[in-house]
Amino acid sequence: MPPLLNVSEILKNSSPQLPPSLKILILDQIDSTNSEAQRLISEKKMPPPLVIFAESQTQGRGRLDRKWESPAYQNLYLSLVIELPSQNLLAQNTLICGIALLESLLPLVPQGLQLKWPNDVLLNKKKVAGILSELVLNIGQPAKLIIGVGINVNAGPKDFSETLSNKATSLKIEFSKDFNRAEIAGRFLASFFSAFEEYFQTGFAPFREKWEGYAKPWGTRVSVEEAELRYEGTYLGLNKEGYLRVQTATGENLVIAGDVNWGI
């Protein structure tokens, strides 16, 4: 049995310091940490900031209603809950979280990491982590953001279904060794809170540039699937809201909620 996650190990690896009011829950099994966060918010049991980890999920959710494969004790599955300032664009939060996640992994994985719009962290061109942002709005209360993060840490090739195995990877698969999940969790939490503190102060502009630096270069050919629409074009970076700019034969399109394949 691999070492279980525990709060003191996570905190030992969180520098700079986390918000003193942050509550950290570690559950053995849950349907989805994002769903559990929604329940805790609606029952007003735990005010933000809050982070919920689970050792396994029975109904881990990905973007666009996809399943997030969540084998027990191998990977990291967590949801953060924070309050948002009144002027905020949901899409930007996912991009900021992606930057924080990639930067927290860089000291352990100096090469091969890349961001893919809107919510993927790739390692050697395969998906190693994903982000699912959900907004909770209640009249008269500040908006709350639930930001779910799945990081494939120590899953082996057999832990992925056949459909995923050529698209997804883990740190262990790429480096043939086990990684310390608490270290990764601690580093990520520290990076997340410092990125969001800066984002709430400075706005999105510096992060837009950073994000572009961690993604494929401008000019990359992409194919886009947005609802019923499918088209190809040339990637032109992000616009100032954080949407993806794609030049097509008929003009520039903004991708707001689609799926993008790079390097076609």
Cα pseudo-dihedral 216, 218, 223, 224, rounded to 10: 100
Nearest distance in Å: CB 127, ligand BTN: 7
Taking the alpha carbons at both ends of the chain, their separation in whole angstroms is 41
Nearer to ligand BTN, 78 or 101 (CB): 78
Query: Is position 150 an interface residue for ligand BTN (rule: CB under 6 A)?
Result: yes
Nearer to ligand BTN, 62 or 142 (CB): 62
Which residues in 77-106 contact ligand BTN (CB under 6 A)? 77-79
- List helix spans (H) across the chain: 7-12, 33-42, 90-105, 162-165, 171-175, 181-202, 205-214
Among 25, 68, 184, 242, binds ligand BTN (CB under 6 A): 68
Query: Is position 169 an interface residue for ligand BTN (rule: CB under 6 A)?
Result: no
Cβ atoms of residues 148 and 34 within 8 Å: yes
Query: Is position 62 an interface residue for ligand BTN (rule: CB under 6 A)?
Result: yes
Cβ atoms of residues 192 and 186 within 8 Å: no
Nearest distance in Å: CB 13, ligand BTN: 19
Query: Is position 131 an interface residue for ligand BTN (rule: CB under 6 A)?
Result: yes
Nearer to ligand BTN, 4 or 17 (CB): 4
Among 5, 10, 24, 57, binds ligand BTN (CB under 6 A): 57
Which tokens sit at 221?
A: 């050919």
Nearer to ligand BTN, 65 or 251 (CB): 65
**Cross-strand pairs, 149:** 78, 131
Cβ atoms of residues 211 and 238 within 8 Å: yes
Nearest alpha-carbon partner for 190 in 93, 87, 89, 104: 104
Nearer to ligand BTN, 116 or 208 (CB): 116
| Cα angle 107, 192, 89; round to 5 | 135
Among 132, 168, 224, 238, binds ligand BTN (CB under 6 A): 132
Nearer to ligand BTN, 71 or 233 (CB): 71
Query: Is position 123 an interface residue for ligand BTN (rule: CB under 6 A)?
Result: no
Distances, alpha carbon 82 to alpha carbons 51, 60, 182, 223, 233, in Å? 9, 20, 21, 34, 36
Instruction: Kindly list the residues in this chain that would bind ligand BTN in the complex (CB under 6 A).
Output: 32-34, 57, 60-63, 66, 68, 77-79, 119-120, 130-132, 148-150
